[in-house]
Chains A and B, each alone.
Chain A
Amino acid sequence: MKTAHPTRKAPTAETGKPLLVVENLAVSYGGIKALKGVSLEVRRGEIVAMIGANGAGKTTTLKTIVRLLPIAAGKVVYDGKDLAAVPAEEIVGVGISLVPEGRAIFPNLTVRENLEIGAWNHRNRSTMDETLEDVVRLFPRLGERMKQEGGTLSGGEQQMLAIGRALMARPSMLLLDEPSLGIAPRLVADIFEAIARVAQAGTTILLVEQNTRLALKYSMRAYVLRTGEIAMTGDSKALAANEEVRAAYLGG
């Protein structure tokens, strides 16, 4: 027997140490300030959720962490390393994998090719096959569809593929952007179960999700974003019980 990802460590020993630290992050699109000083922290082994309305800056935060957007001010530090000077394509080598909003799989590549390209940083055959088996174990549906083109999958399966592709890089931290978006409710549960399993296997998770109920159910802590600022933060359970959160995001 072996662990899912040999490079990952069991979280228990190091849980509690901050893995990702975002300090006073500011980002602008043209003249419009999308983030006005967001600070957050994700510790090793945690599942942290970011919730908030449309345009609150959740996706912007994720995109900025992986350097797809330029930092206007503030800092992103991962595992003690300042990411300001790291280009987007090297972020995955640092240990962060993003599952982008809308999945962004490669529609004309087969499922296998989609997954294999995810392992770009671990291209040696045996490592890649091993990780591939783990991903298939996590999402057996993908195993059944290895030779199909990505674009022919259902929305839920594409989301599984996007997560699988991100896991192929053997990340220590997974960023998920709206994993429930546009997916059949039955599959949403499957996907969140899978995310929980990934977390239990030792991958730290930062989750952006519009479905507040789901996000708070599966996360340990959460940040509430409002117009580019952190409005609230705390244990997910406590937030789910919070009057204000209930009124604004959980429909009373």
Chain B
Amino acid sequence: MPPSTLADGARTSRAASPNPLLRRILVTLALLGAVVGLEFAFDTLVPDVALQQLVLFALVNVVVALSLNVINGMAGQFSIGHAGFVGIGAYTAAIVAGHIHKALGVDDILFSNSFIVMPAAILAAGGVAAIFGFVVGLPSLRLRGDYLAIVTLGFAEIFRLVIATAQTGGDVEGPIAQFLAYLGGQNGYAGPDRNGVPQYAGPFWIFGATVVAVIIAWRLKFSGWGRALRALREDEIATASVGVDPTRYKVTSFVIAATGAGIAGAMLASMRNGNPTVQPDQFTFAYSFDAITMVILGGSGSVSGAIVGGVFVTFTVKMIEQLQRFESVQALQAAYPALDLNALRMVVYASVLIGLMILRPEGIFGEREILRRKPRQRVSHAPPEPLPARTDVEANPENETGPLTGKAEK
């Protein structure tokens, strides 16, 4: 009998679909066309500047959620200091972009120049964040659950406080202190000449980064690597027993997540119409917490969930803020001056979260996806009856007639 009729059948049916390479190239071109188109059509599509800003911020948050999902969702670790990685990326990108912009000598933010500035900023931000991801990932080998969470939180807070509390005025001595002073302390970093970080990241870069992040996250999840992580999450000893090195996979998940967060930070720092200053207050625990909310709300481990969670959380927070503009709400506040609308916002937000967690404790998506590739059908239809003694005869010719149990009874 031919070695595997089943496999051959499946392969032929797959070959009937259009050339996968061609399809891949077409999809890539279509996506590229879409993001380039967005760069120029964004102003027309979304005329309101505030809304533009919100959309771009939502996309940055999607990248943050996707990257945190690698640690908290796929690897089953628990990091509550993701804002630290975003912040490191933001500061790195701001410094790199600011200096390149200055060296270019063109004051205007040109789309063409963004192809020089942004790749450098992204690489630097991702790289530096990756190094920190490695360092923070190392304790994950020995620490679990709450203890690891404390390490990540500690890291993020140390990063933020070191910058926020640095002495900026007067004489500062020593290279480290001078560098910290250069970062601007609590007031933040606003480029080498303190006139703002150049805002090169328009819709092209931010949409582009989001698309790339989604593709990478998706591929990671359904690769052997993603499967190894999910297995590790379920049973570490069994996973090591099949040959997966837990150390390597845990640390790598931290490095990948930190890189993603660093790139999101680069986008945040350079975001068009965004805040031209990178400030330590952007990266408090509240932001880490928002990132966790995005992941858990969407569904831990789900790429679709991270996307929906990122958009949902960004817009919910903003929408509740918008409530304050309604006349009825303002009238309410006039009637009860003690009512703190800002505090009320958090109450509403928290209620939404509690409600969702009661209704869907596993998040909107659980671990599922919107579009799930059909699993390969190759072997699922097993031969209805086992082929008798195929292996036995082949491997053990002189034992041909012996029944399986015969061996033990001999």
Contacts and interface: CB of A to CB of B under 8 A. Distances in A.
Binding between chains A and B: yes
A153 interface: no
A147 to B, nearest CB: 6
Interface string A53-89: 0000000000000101000000000000000000111
B343 interface: no
B4 to A, nearest CB: 6
B398 interface: yes
A66 B241 CA distance: 8
Interface in A98-134: 98, 100, 104-110, 112-113, 116-118, 120-121, 123, 129-130, 132-134
A201 B237 contact: no
Contact of A201 (B6, B241, B246, B395): B395
Interface string B351-387: 0000000000000000100000001001111111111
A11 interface: yes
Interface string A134-152: 1011101011101100000
A2 interface: yes
A92 B395 contact: no
A191 interface: no
A70 to B, nearest CB: 14
A22 interface: no
A133 to B, nearest CB: 6
B224 A197 contact: no
Contacts, number: 171
B407 A143 contact: no
Contacts of A100: 237-238, 241
Contacts of B234: 106-109
Contacts of B392: 197, 200-201
B19 interface: no
Contacts of B244: 89, 117, 120
B206 to A, nearest CB: 34
B239 interface: yes
Nearest to A47: B408
Contact of A104 (B1, B3, B237, B385): B237
A34 to B, nearest CB: 17
Interface residues of B, number: 48
Nearest to A111: B380
B379 A136 contact: yes
Interface string B234-249: 1101111111111000
Contacts of A243: none
Interface stretch (A36-44, A179-187, A216-224): A216-224
B244 to A, nearest CB: 6
B230 A106 contact: yes
Contacts of B380: 112, 143, 146-147
Given A3-B391, A132-B379, 10 more contacts: A4-B395, A68-B240, A130-B3, A146-B379, A169-B243, A193-B405, A196-B408, A200-B395, A200-B396, A219-B408
Interface of B: 1, 3-4, 6-7, 224, 227-228, 230-231, 234-235, 237-246, 367, 375, 378-387, 390-392, 394-399, 404-405, 407-409
9 contacts: A89-B243, A89-B246, A133-B379, A136-B383, A137-B387, A140-B382, A193-B404, A196-B408, A200-B395
The 10 A-B residue pairs whose C-beta atoms are closest, nearest first, are: A143-B382, A4-B391, A92-B243, A104-B238, A146-B380, A120-B243, A201-B391, A136-B382, A218-B408, A89-B245
